[in-house]
Every structure is written in structure tokens, then in C-alpha cells.
Amino acid sequence: MNIISYPDLSSRPHSLTVERVMENSIDVLYEAWTKRFGDWFAAPGSVIMKAEVNSVFFFETHFEDKRHPHYGRFLKLEHNQLVEITWFTSGSKTETVVTVEFSTNESGAAVIRLTHAGFSDELSRDQHEQAWPMVLEQLDRRMKELA
């Protein structure tokens, strides 16, 4: 039996939640978060990822001619319902937790609710709160283009 070690977020109480109605199906969106990071988020060829609880992953992004490595671990996986991962970047310098919940709204459209917890200060949280909606928009657009 594997022990899943959750980060202690008690001294880092700042978190954010963003929600977006998506054009893609939940199947496509779940797969994007577990198997296709290189198609929408990560720099091509940089992803090392196996979607299993307690498995580690790595990828990098390139922004403004700089390399940004991202590391983490899968904490929970519930097929087409939930992905929970730790999230560590050189910018944050601490292990945070990203929880992505998949559902449908009253009209049947897929909805992503993303919670990012464990920020040590409001500035870092606020920067991520501005970035995540753009990331989710990019996810929806790229997966639609690749369909």
C-alpha cells in the first residue's frame, strides 16, 4: 500500500477557485489533464507524466524566452470527475495543490472548477488567479483545434 503524502498547507492559507464552462467534453478535458499536457500547456517534448496516484510528473513552459519547470505528484484521480496534483514551480518555491473538478451544468455543458491552494502570500495567489482563467481558455481552444 502506497502512502500518499499531502503537503501541509496550514501555514500557507491563501487559495483561489476559478470556474469555466467548456466547449469540450469531460472525457477530452480529463484526458488533457492526465495524458495530454503537451498538447495544451507544456512545451512540446518536455512532458514526463504517468497518470497514477503518487506518480511524479515534470514539464516545462516557455514564456518571454524563459524556461519555467513544473513538478508535481498525482494525489487523487477519479476518472472524468477529479484530478488533484501537487504543483511546484521555481516561481512559487513551495509545493501547492491544484484540484480540478469536472461536472456538467444544467444545459449539459462541461464545467471545470479549479482550486489552487497553499499560497504563502496574497500576491502569488492573485497572480495565479489572473493566470488560471487564461490557461483554461487555452485548454479549451487547443483541445477543440486538435479534435
User: Residue 128 phi/psi, 5° resolution?
Assistant: -70, -35
Report whether 80 contacts 27 (CB < 8 A): yes
pLDDT (tens digit per residue) in 42-82: 998 999 999 999 999 999 998 888 888 999 999 999 999 99
Q: How far is CA 75 from CA 51, 86, 104, 141, in A?
A: 10, 7, 23, 27
Whole-number average pLDDT of the chain: 93
Q: What is the pLDDT of residue 83?
A: 98
Q: What is the pLDDT of residue 1?
A: 59
Task: Measure the CA–CA gap between 21 and 15, rounded to whole angstroms.
Answer: 21
Predicted model pTM: 0.93
Q: Which long-range contacts (CB under 8 A, 24 or more apart) does 89-92 make?
A: 92/119, 92/124
